């Protein structure tokens, strides 16, 4: 059938994207959109080890990558929500089974053991573990290094980490020299309210 | 019951890179045109953003409803179940994929038009790749050159000539075929990194040059010059520096009042009469069916849709599909081989900003630029290094075996190296083969129940594999000479669904092996023309768009000059 309402998928996505954004401005008043609060704790415990806060600066949780992930699973990536959450729960069960506690209750070193086993595909009883790991890593990168409009990259921590100088409206030849280090341009492409 | 619309002279199906060009000479000649397009206008303010998630991950500027409802399936060949490709790589919009493409605007070389005869003459029959259906084009470079000149001016191409009238300029590409004059605009500027790569190539004795692009290097015809901000690929140009047909030829054609655009129109069939002439176009818009009568129909969809619509348009004179009584629709299809070599440098190279068309290109290892005697292949690859790197892409970089994939050690690695990796764009001369073709899928349909296009890739090709691997060693040499500390050569692979898809309605004098004649009109249905890379029989080692556009202009020009004989 042709378009039923003359609405492109883009219109729908842009319209949808504005709803959770309003919610984000007051995060204390609202819970996660796609995850339960327990799942959110597990996710944070996981991505905190993927990109930890350390002497180089904020990690994934501090940069709110989990907010990005929760929001895309509630919206544009809803079709992978069930599979993603199943994977997350399986990781948590694996942590309980092998380390004696849910992932969120484990110290960093023990969480690292869990992640390492999954990444290296040696985790017993976790056949989809590697697939979940790769997907979680990919979404964490999107959350940490994407435009803050989508909820992550808080205070532009991701862009500063890799020294990406920001989406300037126009760039001159000097800024493109190999030895140039343009000052960080901390702006979302969607407006100064996103940061 | 379809509503029959007021008849027009010409119905153009698709207002993308080629249909969007062809409407201009038709409109200027006073012909009344219906431009029937599945997409609609895009709005630079609403649709074009400096945002990697929007452009490159959600692909908001490249996805569109019709294309995504008819994603081609892919298989190697008969006996194998075809699987849907991940997405359709092209978009429906006024301007089509010319809105978000890299805008590299190359001419093919004289050799590309005569590859078979040149190969036979220089290397003998043994050098012709086994199983290829390669033919010389029915026209030469010299015949197409005036149309390249016209299109370069109309869409606005920047570049630097390497060969004007047979004399090398000492700048530009010394391997190019002769041009009549300089480009309409000087080339885009280089970046520090691409200048460094060019300087390195010169030290190797190569002749690097700034490649041509349909992007303003200076303000021209009311459009701004490029701002080099780093969000060109898969994104629309917010300052309209990119010469998409939506901001160039289509607007000009509208100004004549001879072009009427019917947007959001999903063409379902091309209709024919009992004598085998086409009578018009059937389409759906908002669930309503329309029939647009036309004296001439120009089919200007993408390669997959061109073959598909012909195969779907069965009628009494064409029981196997329109213009397919010789069984050639879908044949001689091929996807362009392109591949990657990446390098890690010990210092920042600062390629975040810029655009993929800002680069340094070398043509020493492409086409027939070098002696292939005893090499075991013909053709080769153009080598192109470029700028524009996005932050997620940068963070997701290959760690070159130097760091784990997560944790603090990885974090340190990307902190240091995300700005130190160079990608390349390596395009291979690709040829058609017997076992490579398009047909209709026997299981998967679009929501209307029409089968989608099925790509039969035919599997690995020794000729292209060898030429690509050879070029990769040259790319490695170039990077190493430039100071790279590590180079990774990704093995070449057979393309599935491709943004550079050729053939299916090949152009040639012989009706037994080609769908359209040397002017782009059907050998069988005389008032049906076909536009796009689907008429091309070779790819060159470079992007197809400008050649497809020059051919489209030439077909339209032929139609204007022979209006009476073609239209009646």
Q: DSSP assignment of B421-450, as one string?
A: EE-EEEEE----BTT-EEEEEEEEE-TTSP
pLDDT single digits (tens) B490-540: 998 899 999 999 999 999 999 999 999 999 999 999 999 999 999 999 999
> Mean pLDDT, to the nearest integer, of B390-415?
97
Band of pLDDT at residue B89, cut at 50, 70 and 90? confident
Chain B partners of A62 at a C-beta cutoff of 8 Å?
A: none
pLDDT single digits (tens) A44-86: 999 999 999 999 999 999 999 999 999 999 999 999 999 999 9
Q: Do A138 and B54 touch (CB under 8 A)?
A: no
pLDDT single digits (tens) A6-40: 333 333 333 334 444 444 444 445 789 999 999 99
> Mean pLDDT, to the nearest integer, of B536-549?
98
pLDDT single digits (tens) A145-158: 999 999 999 999 99
pLDDT single digits (tens) A93-129: 999 999 999 999 999 999 999 999 999 999 999 989 9
Among A9, A10, A152, A165, the strongest candidate for a mutation testing the B interface, having the largest count of B CBs within 10 A, is A10
- Among chain A residues, the shortest Cα distance to B237 is held by A169
Chain A partners of B349 at a C-beta cutoff of 8 Å?
A: 178
**A51: nearest Cα among A61, A43, A40:** A61
Residue B414, chain A, CB below 8 Å: the answer is yes
Distance CA B491, CA A22 (A): 46
Residue B44, chain A, CB below 8 Å: the answer is no
Choose the closest CB to A163 out of B40, B50, B419. B419
**B278: nearest Cα among B265, B289, B291:** B291
Q: Do B53 and A142 touch (CB under 8 A)?
A: yes
Q: Are B155 and B544 in contact (CB under 8 A)?
A: no
pLDDT single digits (tens) B276-289: 999 999 999 999 99
Among B2, B51, B53, the strongest candidate for a mutation testing the A interface, having the largest count of A CBs within 10 A, is B53
pLDDT single digits (tens) B251-282: 999 999 999 999 999 999 999 999 999 999 99
> In the 8-state DSSP scheme, what is residue B56?
I
Residue B54, chain A, CB below 8 Å: the answer is yes
Distance of CA B465 to the CA centre of its chain: 21
Q: Which residue has the tokens 């080769």?
A: B380
Chain B partners of A179 at a C-beta cutoff of 8 Å?
A: 192, 348, 350
User: Is B163 in a helix, a strand, or coil?
Assistant: strand
Q: Do A162 and B229 touch (CB under 8 A)?
A: no
User: Is A140 in a helix, a strand, or coil?
Assistant: helix
Q: How many helices (H) and strands (E) does chain B have?
A: 15, 23
> In the 8-state DSSP scheme, what is residue B209?
B
Q: Do A1 and B230 touch (CB under 8 A)?
A: no
Interface of B with A in 534-563 (CB under 8 A): none
The pLDDT, as a whole number, for residue A31 is: 87
Among B411, B415, B418, the strongest candidate for a mutation testing the A interface, having the largest count of A CBs within 10 A, is B411
Whether B389 shows a pLDDT value over 50: the answer reads yes
- Which alpha helices (H) appear in B234-348, and where do they start and end? 249-255, 303-312
Whether B245 shows a pLDDT value over 90: the answer reads yes
Residue B121, chain A, CB below 8 Å: the answer is no
- Both structure tokens of B319: 């029981």
Which residues lie below 8 Å from residue B407, measured CB to CB, with a gap of 6+?
A49, A50, A52, A112
Q: Are A52 and A29 in contact (CB under 8 A)?
A: no
pLDDT single digits (tens) B445-472: 999 999 999 999 999 999 999 999 999 9
Which residues lie below 8 Å from residue B220, measured CB to CB, with a gap of 6+?
B156, B184, B185
Distance CA A39, CA A90 (A): 11
- Among chain B residues, the shortest Cα distance to A3 is held by B286
- pTM, full prediction: 0.94
Which residues in B221-262 belong to E strands, given as ranges?
Answer: 259-262
- Among chain B residues, the shortest Cα distance to A140 is held by B392
The pLDDT, as a whole number, for residue B130 is: 96
Q: Do A137 and B284 touch (CB under 8 A)?
A: no
Strands of B486-489's sheet in order across: B421-422, B341-344, B486-489
Chain B partners of A6 at a C-beta cutoff of 8 Å?
A: 264, 286
Residue B446, chain A, CB below 8 Å: the answer is no
Output b/e per residue, B458-473; b: 16+ Cβ within 10 A.
Answer: beebebbbbbbebbbe
Distance CA A135, CA B222 (A): 45
Which residues lie below 8 Å from residue B87, measured CB to CB, with a gap of 6+?
B59, B63, B68, B71, B497
> Mean pLDDT, to the nearest integer, of B392-418?
97
Choose the closest CB to A164 out of B266, B394, B448. B394
The partner residues of B33 in beta bridges, in order of sequence, read B10, B259
The pLDDT, as a whole number, for residue B66 is: 85
Chain A partners of B420 at a C-beta cutoff of 8 Å?
A: none
Distance of CA B115 to the CA centre of its chain: 20
Task: For chain B, give the mean pLDDT.
Answer: 97
pLDDT single digits (tens) B138-189: 999 999 999 999 999 999 999 999 999 999 999 999 999 999 999 999 999 9
The pLDDT, as a whole number, for residue A25 is: 46
> Mean pLDDT, to the nearest integer, of B391-417?
97
Q: Do B58 and A76 touch (CB under 8 A)?
A: yes
Distance CA B236, CA A138 (A): 25
Indicate the length of chain B as a whole number: 568
- Among chain B residues, the shortest Cα distance to A6 is held by B286
Choose the closest CB to A162 out of B229, B419, B448. B419
Q: Do B395 and A163 touch (CB under 8 A)?
A: no
The CA–CA distances, whole Å, from B287 to A119, B94, B267 equal 49, 20, 12
Angle of CA points A102, A108, A110, to nearest 5°: 60
Residue B86, chain A, CB below 8 Å: the answer is no
Instruction: Answer with the residue of higher pLDDT: B91 or A147.
Output: A147
Chain B partners of A56 at a C-beta cutoff of 8 Å?
A: 408, 411-412, 415
Q: Do B348 and A176 touch (CB under 8 A)?
A: no
First to last CA, chain B: 27
Which residues in B33-178 belong to E strands, given as ranges?
Answer: 33-36, 73-75, 83-84, 163-164, 167-168
Residue B68, chain A, CB below 8 Å: the answer is yes
Q: Do B264 and A115 touch (CB under 8 A)?
A: no
> Mean pLDDT, to the nearest integer, of A164-189?
96
Q: Do A146 and B52 touch (CB under 8 A)?
A: yes
């Amino acid at each position: 059938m042709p378009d039923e309402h003359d609405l492109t998928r883009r219109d729908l996505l842009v319209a949808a994207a504005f709803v959770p954004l309003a919610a984000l401005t007051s995060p204390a008043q609202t819970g996660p959109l796609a995850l339960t609060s327990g799942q959110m704790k597990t996710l944070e415990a996981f991505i905190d080890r993927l990109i930890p806060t350390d002497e180089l600066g904020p990690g994934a949780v501090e940069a709110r990558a989990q907010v990005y992930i929760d929001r895309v699973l509630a919206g544009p990536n809803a079709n992978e929500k069930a599979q993603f959450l199943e994977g997350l729960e399986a990781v948590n069960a694996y942590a309980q089974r092998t380390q004696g506690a849910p992932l969120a209750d484990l110290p960093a070193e023990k969480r690292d053991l869990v992640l390492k086993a999954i990444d290296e595909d040696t985790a017993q009883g976790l056949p989809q573990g590697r697939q979940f790991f790769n997907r979680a890593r990919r979404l964490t990168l999107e959350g940490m290094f994407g435009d803050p409009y989508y909820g992550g990259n808080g205070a532009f921590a991701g862009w500063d980490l890799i020294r990406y100088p920001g989406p300037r409206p126009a760039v001159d030849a000097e800024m493109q020299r190999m030895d140039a280090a343009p000052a960080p341009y901390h702006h979302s492409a969607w407006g100064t309210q996103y940061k | 019951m379809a509503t029959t619309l007021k008849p027009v002279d010409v119905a153009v199906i698709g207002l993308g890179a080629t249909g969007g060009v062809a409407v201009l000479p038709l409109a200027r000649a006073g012909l009344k045109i219906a431009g029937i397009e599945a997409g609609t206008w895009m709005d630079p303010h609403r649709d074009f953003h400096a945002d990697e998630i929007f452009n490159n991950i959600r692909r908001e500027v490249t996805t569109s409803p019709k294309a995504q409802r008819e994603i081609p399936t892919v298989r190697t060949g008969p006996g194998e179940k075809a699987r849907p490709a991940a997405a359709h790589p092209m978009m429906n919009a006024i301007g089509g994929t010319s809105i978000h493409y890299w805008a590299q605007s190359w001419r093919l070389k004289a050799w590309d038009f005569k590859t078979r005869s040149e190969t036979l003459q220089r290397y003998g029959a043994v050098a012709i790749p086994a199983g290829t259906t390669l033919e010389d084009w029915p026209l030469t470079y010299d015949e197409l050159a005036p149309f390249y000149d016209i299109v370069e001016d109309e869409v606005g191409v920047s570049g630097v000539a390497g060969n004007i009238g047979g004399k090398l300029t000492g700048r530009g590409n010394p391997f190019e075929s002769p041009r009549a004059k300089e480009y309409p605009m000087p080339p885009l500027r280089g970046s520090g990194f691409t200048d460094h790569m060019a300087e390195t190539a010169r030290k190797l004795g190569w002749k690097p040059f700034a490649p041509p692009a349909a992007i303003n290097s200076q303000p021209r015809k009311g459009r701004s010059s490029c701002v080099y901000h780093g969000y060109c690929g898969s994104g629309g140009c917010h300052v309209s520096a990119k010469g998409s047909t939506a901001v160039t030829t289509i607007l000009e054609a509208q100004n004549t009042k001879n072009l009427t655009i019917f947007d959001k129109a999903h063409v379902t069939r091309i209709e024919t009469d009992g004598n085998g002439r086409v009578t018009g176009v059937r389409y759906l818009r908002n669930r309503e069916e329309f029939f647009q009568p036309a004296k001439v129909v120009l089919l200007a969809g993408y390669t997959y849709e061109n073959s598909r619509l012909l195969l779907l348009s069965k009628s009494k004179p064409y029981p196997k599909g329109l213009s397919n009584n010789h069984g050639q629709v879908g044949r001689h299809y091929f996807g362009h081989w392109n591949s990657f070599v990446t390098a890690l440098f010990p210092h920042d190279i600062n390629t975040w900003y810029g655009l993929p068309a800002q680069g340094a290109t070398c043509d020493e290892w492409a086409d027939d630029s070098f002696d292939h005697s005893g090499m075991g292949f013909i053709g080769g690859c153009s080598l192109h290094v470029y700028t524009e790197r996005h932050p997620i892409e940068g963070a997701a970089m290959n760690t070159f075996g130097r760091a784990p994939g997560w944790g603090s050690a990885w974090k340190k690695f990307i902190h240091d190296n995300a700005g130190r990796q160079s990608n390349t764009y390596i395009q291979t001369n690709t040829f058609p083969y017997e076992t490579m073709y398009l047909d209709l899928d026997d299981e998967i349909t679009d929501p209307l129940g029409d089968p989608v296009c099925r790509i039969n890739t035919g599997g690995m090709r020794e000729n292209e594999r060898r030429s690509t691997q050879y070029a990769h060693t040259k790319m490695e040499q170039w990077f190493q000479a430039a100071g790279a500390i590590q180079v990774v050569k990704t093995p070449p692979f057979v393309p599935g669904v491709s943004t550079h898809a050729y053939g299916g309605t090949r152009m040639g004098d012989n009706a037994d092996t080609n769908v359209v004649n040397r002017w782009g009109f059907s050998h069988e249905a005389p008032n049906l023309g076909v536009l796009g890379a689907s008429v091309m029989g070779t790819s060159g080692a470079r992007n197809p768009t400008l050649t497809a556009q020059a051919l489209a202009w030439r077909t339209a020009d032929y139609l204007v000059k022979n209006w009476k004989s073609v239209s009646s």
